[in-house]
Amino acid sequence: GDSVTQTEGQVALSEEDFLTIHCNYSASGYPALFWYVQYPGEGPQFLFRASRDKEKGSSRGFEATYDKGTTSFHLRKASVQESDSAVYYCALGKTQVVGQLTFGRGTRLQVYA
Amino acid sequence: EAAVTQSPRNKVTVTGGNVTLSCRQTNSHNYMYWYRQDTGHGLRLIHYSYGAGNLQIGDVPDGYKATRTTQEDFFLLLELASPSQTSLYFCASSPDWVQDTQYFGPGTRLLVL
């Protein structure tokens, strides 16, 4: 079945560091790919999505490029801030079942001032 | 901005107890979802619905029932709660099928003693 694997556990960075959170997927065809962000005490929020090979999604300085060849959708940001501290989820839209997203296990980003 | 509300925000019950979690969205979205969030597992889909009276099974449905009474209201029922159902529960809605953004509520924290 469809699955998403992302960087496990926590990523600790200092302000202005470069961020990469890896996301790889397993699915047939061209599933839509998503990044969601969850701040403490809140529900997840949609960050951005991409639907086609080589399409770039971006929002709030974060970006990711859909790569069908490597089945990846890695999240990157050039210069993180303390306010970016949150849990980040990669997700894909199931290709065989309408209306469902499959989420990765989440990656906690902690940015220190 | 889509609005999804959940009640109660916190709930404690005992093993074998009967629990109902409520979700309301005020954006006329067709799809509504119930997820549970657990450390090490991320977000897992329990049940979802694409309209009043409709129910679809998600990835982890055992021990849960759901009912969609109106387009706005979606309920999750635990008729014989067990400690394994201690979790953070999120409701979400989206205006169309999987390609669209899912808007999440603030969550309900359930503790089963």
Query: In the prediction, which pLDDT does B98 show?
Result: 54
Interchain CB contact of A59 with B (< 8 Å): no
pLDDT greater than 70 at residue A95: no
Q: Tell me the C-alpha distance between A1 and B76, whole Å.
A: 26
Query: In the prediction, which pLDDT does A100 show?
Result: 82
Inter-chain touch B101–A49, beta carbons under 8 Å? yes
For residue A21, the one-letter residue type is: I
- The 10s digit of each residue's pLDDT in A4-47 is 999 999 999 999 999 999 999 999 888 999 999 999 999 999 99
CA atoms within 13 Å, Cβ hemisphere of A9: 3
* Cis bond upstream, residue B106 (ω within 30): no
Query: In the prediction, which pLDDT does A62 show?
Result: 98
Inter-chain touch A101–B98, beta carbons under 8 Å? yes
Query: In the prediction, which pLDDT does B1 show?
Result: 60
Inter-chain touch A89–B90, beta carbons under 8 Å? no
Interchain CB contact of A93 with B (< 8 Å): yes
Cα R_g (chain B), whole angstroms: 13
Interchain CB contact of A45 with B (< 8 Å): yes
Query: In the prediction, which pLDDT does A30 show?
Result: 85
Query: Contact, B2 vs B29, CB < 8 A?
Result: yes
Inter-chain touch A44–B41, beta carbons under 8 Å? no
The pLDDT averaged over each successive group of 10 residues in chain B (113 residues) is 89 97 93 93 92 93 97 96 98 76 94 97
Inter-chain touch A99–B92, beta carbons under 8 Å? no
Query: In the prediction, which pLDDT does B2 show?
Result: 60
Instruction: Kindly report the nearest CA distance between residue A9 and chain B, in angstroms.
Output: 8
Q: Tell me the C-alpha distance between B68 and B75, whole Å.
A: 6
Interchain CB contact of A94 with B (< 8 Å): yes
Inter-chain touch B98–A105, beta carbons under 8 Å? no
pLDDT greater than 80 at residue A112: yes
Query: In the prediction, which pLDDT does A1 show?
Result: 80
| Average pLDDT over every residue of A58-68 | 97
